[in-house]
Amino acid sequence: MTAFAPLGILCDYRNMTEDEEWRAIGERLRRTRLIAGMSQAELGKQVDLDRTMIAKIEAGTRRIGALELTQISGALRVPVGYLLEPLPPVLSRRGSVVDEDFDSEIAQESGRLEIVLTTWLGDLRQLVELGTLRPQPLLVSKRSADSDGSAREIALWVREVLGYRFDPIDSLVELCERAGQFVLVTEVPGEGASVIDGDIAAAVVSLSGDPGRRRATAAHELGHLVVGDEYSNDLGVHASRAEREEVIDAFAAELLLPSQVLTSIDVGMSGISRSQLVRLAARYRVSWSLALRQAAHVGVLDPDAQRAMARIRPTRSEFLDALGWAPQPDLESIRVPPNYAHAVMEALQRSAITPSRAVELMRGQIRLTDLPADDETDDEP
């Protein structure tokens, strides 16, 4: 049996009475308000409603019309659909599970990450329903990842299935898309999170940190999809959350920099040299810390050398010099998966979405002025 970490109301409106639906919407509004760090009075002031009216809406005893709902969602800075649709079960969220009262900064940041992830899932679902986005079947291993070793073997299986074998992965976003998971790299608190809803898998990765760290986070979220959710019994009934995360981290490390790549290098008696490891880290686009861990894992770097190398991180110029000054654009800025981008443009060409919605869906990758002149109309279809 697979269990999920609840981030909110896990309900199905189809099985609800009308009163239950309004209570669910009210609870969703309450949680969103707390995530935003607003009191009922503060929200009421922004939408010209008394605090008691906000309290009744959150309790589900006062219904609201489309205009009020639009005003409330605008004040809370979330799409209207976020307040209406039930939250899907969460596959993974890096960081601690937080309380539902959202009365701490950490809890509010986690809630904001939830909003971005759920909104991203909603955008994916819209394009799928329009018929322009066609997700690949979810790549899920039939084998249990109950140890570091089995997680690494599954990572190599993913590489084999997708045709990478031991080659560097140039675009991790593209690899994840081929595995059925759509990754958005954007401004979010924390590191990343992922969700699965039916046959759609979505993940968000934070722009904070260096690109190598972002790739590790994306690989980590893919690991949760491939080997099962973070609370799966396959990972061990008695395993702690930290132990489960370590198993997924092993998957991510092996996916990004396979052990065989390191063991195939001709190293000296003292092990792999710093320059050799810098070249590998640059070529496989991994963080310095991940490269060090992988080298230590396969035994080409002893603990003393690992600590010494960790103290002096390579500079950007060293990485570029190792690649012959070739650029490394992967996960450098806000970006969306390639097939998703094509789906947005196809929907625009079909007049299924407006230009402004296309810009919104592309998350900063394009502006209205980038669109063809013939499409510059904002009339709803």
pLDDT given for residue 64 in this prediction: 87
What confidence tier does 377 reach under pLDDT thresholds 50, 70, 90?
A: very low
Report how far Cα 199 is from the mean position of its chain's Cα atoms: 16
What confidence tier does 36 reach under pLDDT thresholds 50, 70, 90?
A: confident
pLDDT in tens, 39-95: 999 999 999 999 999 999 999 999 888 899 999 999 998 888 888 877 665 545 544
pLDDT in tens, 89-133: 554 554 444 445 666 777 777 788 888 898 999 999 999 999 999
3-state secondary structure string across 176-225: HHHCCEEEEEECCCCCEEEEEECCEEEEEEECCCCHHHHHHHHHHHHHHH
Give residue limits of the domains in the chain: 1-87, 259-314
pLDDT given for residue 102 in this prediction: 62
CB neighbour list of residue 237: distance below 8 Å, 6 or more residues apart = none
Q: Is the pLDDT of residue 354 over 50?
A: yes
pLDDT in tens, 199-248: 899 999 988 878 888 899 999 999 999 987 543 434 444 456 778 889 99
End-to-end CA distance of the chain: 44
Of the options 1.10.260.40, 1.10.10.10, 1.10.8.60, 3.30.360.10, the CATH number for the domain spanning 1-87: 1.10.260.40
Stretch 309-324: mean pLDDT: 87
Q: Is the pLDDT of residue 159 over 50?
A: yes
Half-sphere exposure of 228 (CA within 13 A, CB side): 19
How much is the pTM?
A: 0.81
Place of tokens 């370590």: 246
pLDDT given for residue 209 in this prediction: 73
Stretch 281-304: mean pLDDT: 94
3-state secondary structure string across 363-378: CCCCCHHHCCHHHCCC
pLDDT given for residue 365 in this prediction: 82
Q: Is the pLDDT of residue 12 over 90?
A: no
pLDDT given for residue 248 in this prediction: 92
Distance, in Å, from the CA atom of 379 to the CA atom of 150, rounded to the nearest integer, reads 53
% of the chain beyond a pLDDT of 70? 83
Least confident range from 33-37, 269-273, 331-335: namely 331-335
pLDDT given for residue 326 in this prediction: 60
Mean of pLDDT over the chain = 83
